[in-house]
Each structure stands twice: as structure tokens, then as C-alpha cells.
Amino acid sequence: MSLANAIERFLPESNPWPDEPEGYSIWITVFRVYKVPYDTQIARVGRFDAGPIHVMLTNENLPYPEIAYGFDPLPDGSVRPRGGLLGWNTTSYGNLLLLLTPLKSDVADVDPEVAVRHKTDSARAIIVAILGLNAAFERVCEFSFDTGTGDISRRSPALENPTFHGTPNIGDTFSWQLIKTILEGIDALEVETQNRVLLSIRWFQRALGDERVHNVGGGNVDTLLNYWIALETLVRVGEQKVAGTLIKSLANIHNLATQEIGQKFPISKVYERRKSIVHTGDLSFDVSFELQQFLTDVFVDILALQVMSLATPPRTQKYLDGRAYGYL
């Protein structure tokens, strides 16, 4: 199969971006869809445009390029970027979600690849929030395709570049002794302080770009804090308390008194859990799938009904019977 024929199967049948200049590049991201049978569901949805994102669902066995990227250390201590086409693989059988968008940045000084990753990640987040995680469970591949030359690439400037950071003084015995003292000292801390320190370190790891380990069967305290930060950012709290603002938003959505919403939706209890995690280092709390779904539905309702003023039925309607209190 030629390169052009292989890539052609990824592309929209008609150009959804007619205003793009000749020879523009397209960024393609492919996600695996799980638990959807091979029936007409995929065919019914097919392809559609959502702003700058072209969404495509397929159950074809698609080819994709395997592209190496990263950095190689050299004997003199310098660093050399590494990349190139290793060969071709196939997605194997299964349903796939493809997100395609022109490879460009609308913001000065923002690399185009970074910009399109923000777009596709945002699109995937909304798809997962509405349809569930299995609608775009895992990333299979991503690359760019130059419509003029037919070239593919994966430059990945979003990777942390070691040339931007200083040279570690690995011969400094004082630094190694400090590391040893800290690691041994954490184990000797009083339990509450130790938990708070370990949680802080986990968030520091996230700042470094390290992904957390997912708990089997549910989420952990990181999951709860991620949901809460997402909600806090969404409601524009200002000087108001986050929990109170969320309750007021839900009261407006359901046309009920805030007191009644507080009795039906465990927003305050979730906030108390969040305080316990952040301020006392409580690592014992597991976030059930049911609680994750509840917080997802709250997020979607506030985004769609409050922020965007869309005319859509509230997804949190089913929790008016108070069932969500059983998820904590």
C-alpha cells in the first residue's frame, strides 16, 4: 500500500476546511472505542464537523505510521533529537474515533502541534464527558499529514526537552545525602503529616508531567481533586465559596431552592472530602465509578446549561432522588 493510499483512508471525503491555504497539514488523532458492537451505530454517526474538529467514527482496520521520537544522549553530554518513520502498523479490528484538524496555531508564540493537541484533547474530554470513557478510551496513534507533499511527521515539541534544563551534578555527595535523608525521613513522619507529604509529592509529580497510576476498579484522591478543580474553574467562583456556587448553579438548573438541592446532591460532602485530602493528607478515599459519573454529569450540566445556555435536558435530573449520597 502506498503512503498516499494509506493516509487517504483517514481523510474526510470532502474538505471540511475550504479556507485553508493549498498544501496545508492535517493533525490526525485516533482513539480506541470499547464495548460498541460492530453494527450500524458507527455507520449512523459516520462523520461530522464540530468547529475546527472533524470527527470520524469507523470500524475499519486502518494503517498508521509508527514514528520514533525522543532524544539520544551523546558521549560529550549533549543531546540529539531522535525521530523518523519506523514503519507501518494497523489498528487491528475494533471501533475507532478519529479527530482531525488543520495543523496550525491561532495564538502567537504557541507551537502548532501544541495548539492542535489542546483542541483534540478538549474535544476528547467533551466526548468522554457526554458518552463515557469507552467512547475514546485510549490513544492509538497521532501524526500530521502534509496535503501538499504527502509527508507525515510527529515532531512532538510538546515533549519536555532536556536541552532546556541544567546539567545535574550527579557527583555532588551532599545532594545525594539530602535525598537519602528526605526519603528515609518521610517514612518516619507522623501518619497524618506523612500522608500530606506523599500527596504533595504526587501533585509535584503531576507538575513534572508524570502520569499517575490508576487504581483498578475506581479512582483515587487525585481523581476527586481533578474533578473539583475542573468544577471550580468552570463556575467562576470569585469571592464565593465553591460548594455554595455549585449548589446555586444546580438550583438554577432545576428551578429548586438551594437548600433542597443541598439535601439531594452531595456537593458539600464532596467538598469536605476535598478539604480532608488537601489539608490532612487523607489518602484513604476511593472514588467509585458512580461518584465519577455523578461529578461528570454535574460538570456537563453546568457547562451546557449554565455557561453555554443550551436547551438540553439536565443530566443530573436522575439524582434528585438523593441517590448520589450513597456514592460517598
9-55 pLDDT tens trace: 777 777 788 888 888 899 999 998 888 777 655 655 667 788 888 88
Question: According to the model, what pLDDT value does residue 325 have?
Answer: 94
Characterize the bridge pairing of strands 53-58 and 47-50. Answer: antiparallel
The residue among 166 and 126 whose pLDDT is bigger is: 126
Q: Is the pLDDT of residue 289 over 60?
A: yes
Cα distance between residue 94 and residue 253, in whole Å: 38
Long-range own/partner contacts, residues 316-325 (CB < 8 A, 24 or more apart): 316/250, 316/253, 316/254, 316/265, 317/254, 319/264, 319/265, 319/294, 320/254, 320/264, 321/264, 322/263, 322/264, 324/264, 324/265, 324/266, 324/290, 324/291, 324/294, 325/266, 325/269
Question: According to the model, what pLDDT value does residue 310 have?
Answer: 85
Question: According to the model, what pLDDT value does residue 59 have?
Answer: 82
Question: According to the model, what pLDDT value does residue 258 have?
Answer: 95
The overall average pLDDT reported for the chain is 81
Cβ 156 vs Cβ 69: under 8 Å: yes
95-153 pLDDT tens trace: 888 999 999 988 787 888 888 988 898 899 888 988 888 889 988 888 888 888 888 87
Q: Is the pLDDT of residue 217 over 60?
A: no
Bridge partner residues of 95 (DSSP)? 33
Relative orientation angle of helices 267-280 and 242-254, to the nearest 10 degrees: 160
